[in-house]
Chain A
């Protein structure tokens, strides 16, 4: 069975400082990994994904994430936080498509609060 852990319910960071939102996963094989952001009263928006190749992936709004296979982690990072980055962030994992439907598992979410 696959699982995703986001160990921090909330992360507080000062505006302009670097931010990290943590994610670890458990899945058989080489996973597909995703980060989504959810603003209040909105659906989820895709930020970035890791499928294969370079372990550092860059996404929307200046976010990036590093895939670490040995630590089974996929932490979300941004060099300089903005107040507008304050939102709920979800990590998600999906096993590679072996020809059939593969279920996505979402983490519990991390609320990011950027303090002016």
Chain B
């Protein structure tokens, strides 16, 4: 199994600013993902973080709003840009190897935009 450290664990931000969330995995992983979750609700995939190339975004999410980096096989960042109150949510980092493997998750970043 992999251990994922995500930080910050929570933040309160002013609208119009940006926040960068970091995700560190304790071992090399094939795939890394970023999800958004409203408390008590399901997960929505934002994008797949690709090592050495641009992230693959899901419908409704764009690079200008959610730029993602993945410089190596153990680390990724998600930036929430030009924030509005609608961006208030929990952001989760996830990682897994290829093949029929399960995913592992960070503890999440609870973001509140005021």
Contact = CB atoms under 8 A, between A and B. Distances in A.
Contact of B107 (A42, A88, A106, A108): A42
B103 A104 contact: yes
Interface stretch (A18-26, A45-53, A62-70): A45-53
A43 B109 CA distance: 9
A103 B45 contact: yes
A111 B100 contact: no
B104 interface: yes
A49 B99 contact: no
A51 B100 CA distance: 7
A32 B108 contact: no
Contacts of A51: 100
B110 A41 contact: yes
A111 B99 contact: no
A74 interface: no
Interface in B23-66: 31, 40-43, 45, 48, 56
Interface residues of A, number: 23
B102 A46 contact: yes
Interface string A71-103: 000000000000000001010000011000101
Given A42-B107, A43-B107, A49-B102, A101 B48 contact: yes
Contacts of B104: 46
Contacts of A106: 42-43
A90 B42 contact: yes
28 contacts: A32-B100, A34-B102, A36-B105, A41-B110, A42-B108, A43-B4, A43-B92, A43-B105, A43-B106, A43-B107, A44-B43, A44-B92, A46-B1, A46-B102, A46-B103, A49-B100, A49-B102, A51-B100, A88-B40, A90-B42, A96-B100, A101-B31, A101-B56, A106-B42, A106-B43, A109-B40, A109-B41, A109-B42
Given A101-B48, A101-B56, A108-B41, 10 more contacts: A36-B105, A41-B107, A44-B94, A44-B103, A46-B102, A46-B103, A49-B102, A96-B100, A103-B45, A111-B40
